[in-house]
Structure formats: structure tokens, C-alpha cells
Amino acid sequence: MRRGRFRRKALVGAVCALVMTGTTALTGCGGEDPDAGTNGVGKLPPDRIQARTRAAADGAAAVRLAGSVTAGGRTYKLDMRLKKDGGTGSVTAEGATFQLLRIGEELYLMADAGFWTGGAEGEESDTAAAEKLNGKYVKVPEGDPSYEKFTGFTDKAVLLDGLLTLHGTLSTDGRHEQAGLRTIRITGDKGAGGTLDVSLEGTAYPMLLSRAGGAGTLIFSDWGKDFPLEEPAEDETVDYGKQLPAS
């Protein structure tokens, strides 16, 4: 009887030795459970992890995202804080940096004089006008062609819906760490369709996104942390009416 018990113990030990890879072990083989103390999403199939993290992102009151996005042949460097009723932050494209502020439907853009003159020598009157806009919050009219484009950078729902999409067949790619938090990585077409690191601690928020085709990398942080959105002072604001000046 005792000999049979020892034989079974030895057999279990041999099987555990075979399945041990790196620091990961099967629960019950004497190794630590990699999901111990986590939110449990690491045990889910990749499609359910993606659904869980999308729901978490949609339900969050606020988020900060920073990094780069390539779209339409242009690369945009973003550092934006977003919530349901607006957002604020900076965008850099083609060497020009501008600040955006949206409160409800009201959208403001702040940039230096070079932005408004296209960075080139212009007519004297144009240069003078650009200098007056330097460092001012310029109200973007809703009828202006740039309104929809700029608004997209400040719209949490629109921006996340367009970004948090992996292409191709989903799979998982191990455990990782981002900003001191343990994450599970999901991939589209083994990384060719993008990768997304999802937090294993607390709420299953997206933490790090690498877009398909090398089209940018974004870090997500400050999930659920509110921030103020205040209209700029009147003496810091310029209202151009129905259309912005050419830039």
C-alpha cells in the first residue's frame, strides 16, 4: 500500500517536471498559480479578454493616453486626457505642436504663430495676424472643416473605439508588466495585427497598445481619474466666427 503511494508521488513529480517551463507551472504541481491575486482575466480565452477590456475602457470615467499614432500617411504624437464630456492635451504632427481643449461642443485650439503661418514666410498682414493668435485659445467653429478632425482627438468614445481593435485571429502571448502592474498580452495574427496588454490587477483596463503594421504605440493610464475642464479666460480666447484662418 505504502509502495503504491510512493510510486504515485514519484509519477506526479515526474509529470510536473515535464510541464514546468521557465517560471510557469501547473497549479497543483508545487508551483505558484500565475492567476493568484489577479482579476482572473488571464484564465479567459483571448476574445473574452478583448471583450472584457473594451467594456472596462468604455465604462471608465476618464483616461490618459500618450504615444504615437500613424494614420493617413501622417504620424501624430498624442498626450491627451479624455472623459465623456471633453478632453484636453497636446498633439504634434509634421513638426507642429498644438493644444486642444474641448468642453461639450465647444472646441479650442492653441498654437504658436508658426502654426498659423504654416511655418513659412507669409505676407506681412498674415504674419501680424498669426502673432495675435500666438498662445491664444482659438475657438474652432463647428462648421469649419477642421472641427471634426480635431474633435476626434478629444472624444474618448470615438478615439478608443478606433484604437482598441486587434486585427486577425486573436491569441495570448504570455504575462508581462506595465507601469508596475501585471498584464496579459493578447495579439492579432501573432502580433502582425497588433498587440494589447491588459491589466491583471484591479479592473481589466488596456495598458499598452502596439498597433498593427507598426502604426504607433500608446500607453494608457489614469483610468477613472477625473480632471477639470475649464473654459479659457476671455482675454485668452479668440473667436474667428464661421471659419478658422488658413494655416
Residue 17, sorted as left (phi over 0), alpha (psi -120 to 50) or beta, turns out to be: alpha
Please tell me whether residue 30 adopts helix, strand or coil conformation: coil
CATH of the domain at 95: 2.50.20.20
List pLDDT tens digits, range 14-57: 444 443 333 344 444 556 777 888 999 999 999 999 999 999 99
Instruction: Give yes or no: residues 24 and 100 share one domain.
Output: no
Structural domain of residue 25, as residue ranges? 1-33
Instruction: Give yes or no: residues 10 and 112 share one domain.
Output: no
Instruction: Give yes or no: residues 24 and 60 share one domain.
Output: no
Instruction: Give yes or no: residues 118 and 2 share one domain.
Output: no
Instruction: Give yes or no: residues 109 and 178 share one domain.
Output: yes
Instruction: Give yes or no: residues 45 and 157 share one domain.
Output: yes
Instruction: Give yes or no: residues 116 and 8 share one domain.
Output: no
Tally of domains within the chain:
2
Q: How far is CA 104 from its chain centroid? A: 21
What's the predicted TM-score (pTM) here?
0.81
List pLDDT tens digits, range 132-184: 888 899 999 888 888 888 999 999 999 999 899 899 999 999 999 999 999 99
